[in-house]
């Protein structure tokens, strides 16, 4: 990609190891500090105002939320204890973590291998595969719901096993839906990696797998983590497929959450405040996981892989 090589080539030549010591922080600075501060503040406000609303609503009464109050007229922490009741939120969160977590790991593994082949080797139909993967992303989920269900039911009946209602069925479905995208994330990332190391390793006699695991994977952590995050969130947020592919004891967090928003015609007010509390509780593990994994988002290159 010419656009990618352009900055690198002249840059590499003119460096001359002349970078002054102690300036490295400024060297990598992309923006003036004041602008960073302004933009960060604006973005945080954009995110946090509705989050504050969710938080306040979780402390409010259901009637208060329904009537559009921002500041609760009476505060209560009840919702946070009620949500653990019999709805099974804890079980739901665990199910979601198991399914989405496995999807993240497995899809990242498959995606790295697939992208490696697609980026570094030529073969007939390579472009077709790349374009086809993107084409798959445009298929609406509502179109696929019924056929996938029929397929799972038929395979299950044919093999004499239960697929629908198990976490395995959900795992396989999400894994497949995540693959085109995860693969593309890895494709774009791998393209940015220089080839010199791989070629050097190949001359030293390394095999394809050796190159993949010793060179590509260590350099690709940011890409792998991001593709894993996307795959994880696909499984975490889905309601459409989970609503028919799960049973009460395999329900995911999103499905359990949905119960809180349920209402009956002519019935009582939905339990809005519990729904808000549960939404925050459900978001917490993901944000914490991200907090832990984001240190891998520091680039493999800037971390000193290529020098």
What residues from 67 to 126 belong to the interface with other proteins (CB under 8 A)?
67-68, 70, 85-87, 110-111, 113-114, 116-125
Distance CA 95, CA 249 (A): 9
Q: Is 281 in the site for other proteins (CB under 8 A)?
A: no
What residues from 204 to 243 belong to the interface with other proteins (CB under 8 A)?
207-209, 212, 222-223, 225-226, 229-230, 233, 236-237, 239-240, 243
Distance CA 121, CA 129 (A): 13
> In the chain, count of helices (H) and strands (E)?
16, 0
Radius of gyration, alpha carbons of the chain: 24
Interaction mask 14-43, other proteins, x per CB under 8 A: xx--xx---x-xxxxxxxx--xx--xx--x
How many angstroms from the chain centroid is the CA of residue 275? 23
> CB within 8 A of 130, min separation 6: which ones?
118, 184, 187
To other proteins, the closest distance from the beta carbon of 277 in angstroms equals 11
Q: Is 159 in the site for other proteins (CB under 8 A)?
A: no
C-beta separation of 255 from 243 below 8 A: yes
Residue 130's nearest CA partner among 144, 141, 119 is 119
Q: Is 290 in the site for other proteins (CB under 8 A)?
A: yes
Of 189, 231, 235, 281, which one interacts with other proteins (CB under 8 A)?
A: 189
Q: Is 272 in the site for other proteins (CB under 8 A)?
A: yes
Of 54, 197, 201, 206, which one interacts with other proteins (CB under 8 A)?
A: 54
Q: Is 12 in the site for other proteins (CB under 8 A)?
A: yes
How many angstroms from the chain centroid is the CA of residue 252? 16
To other proteins, the closest distance from the beta carbon of 282 in angstroms equals 7
Residue 183's nearest CA partner among 132, 241, 240 is 132
- Judged by CB under 8 A, the number of residues near other proteins is 169
Distance CA 182, CA 88 (A): 31
To other proteins, the closest distance from the beta carbon of 77 in angstroms equals 17
Of 76, 91, 176, 201, which one interacts with other proteins (CB under 8 A)?
A: 176
Of 105, 164, 167, 201, which one interacts with other proteins (CB under 8 A)?
A: 164
Q: Is 202 in the site for other proteins (CB under 8 A)?
A: yes
Of 92, 95, 180, 281, which one interacts with other proteins (CB under 8 A)?
A: 180
DSSP 162: -
- For other proteins, give the closer residue by CB, 98 or 293: 293
To other proteins, the closest distance from the beta carbon of 247 in angstroms equals 6
Of 81, 90, 161, 188, which one interacts with other proteins (CB under 8 A)?
A: 188
Of 191, 200, 213, 218, which one interacts with other proteins (CB under 8 A)?
A: 191
How many angstroms from the chain centroid is the CA of residue 251? 20
> Apex CA 7: angle with CA 5 and CA 8, to 5°?
65
First to last CA, the chain: 21
To other proteins, the closest distance from the beta carbon of 90 in angstroms equals 13
Alpha carbon distances (Å) from 192 to 26, 216, 228? 24, 11, 18
Sign of the dihedral defined by the CA atoms of residues 58, 64, 65, 71, in that order: negative
- For other proteins, give the closer residue by CB, 55 or 98: 55
Q: Is 277 in the site for other proteins (CB under 8 A)?
A: no
């Amino acid at each position: 990609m010419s656009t990618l090589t352009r900055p690198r080539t002249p840059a590499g030549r003119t460096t001359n190891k002349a970078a002054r010591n102690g300036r490295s922080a400024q060297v990598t600075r992309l923006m003036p500090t004041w602008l960073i501060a302004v933009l960060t503040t604006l973005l945080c406000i954009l995110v946090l105002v509705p989050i504050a609303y969710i938080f306040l609503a979780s402390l409010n009464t259901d009637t208060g939320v329904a009537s559009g109050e921002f500041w609760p007229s009476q505060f209560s922490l009840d919702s946070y204890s009620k949500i653990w009741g019999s709805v099974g939120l804890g079980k739901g969160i665990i199910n979601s973590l198991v399914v989405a977590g496995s999807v993240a790991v497995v899809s990242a593994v498959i995606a790295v291998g697939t992208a490696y082949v697609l980026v570094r080797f030529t073969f007939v139909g390579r472009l077709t595969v790349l374009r086809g993967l993107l084409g798959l992303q445009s298929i609406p989920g509502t179109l696929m719901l019924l056929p996938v269900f029929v397929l799972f039911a038929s395979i299950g009946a044919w093999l004499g096993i239960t697929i629908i209602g198990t976490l395995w069925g959900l795992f396989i479905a999400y894994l497949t839906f995540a693959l085109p995208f995860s693969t593309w994330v890895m494709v774009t990332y791998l393209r940015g990696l220089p080839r010199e190391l791989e070629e050097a390793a190949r001359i030293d006699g390394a095999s394809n797998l050796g190159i993949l695991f010793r060179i590509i994977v260590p350099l690709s952590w940011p890409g792998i983590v991001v593709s894993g995050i996307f795959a994880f969130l696909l499984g975490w947020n889905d309601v459409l497929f989970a609503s028919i592919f799960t049973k009460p004891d395999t329900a995911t967090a999103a499905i359990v959450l949905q119960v809180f928003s349920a209402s009956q015609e002519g019935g009582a007010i939905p339990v809005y405040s519990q729904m808000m509390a549960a939404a925050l509780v459900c978001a917490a593990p993901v944000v914490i996981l991200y907090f832990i994994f984001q240190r891998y988002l520091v680039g493999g290159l800037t971390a000193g892989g290529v020098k």
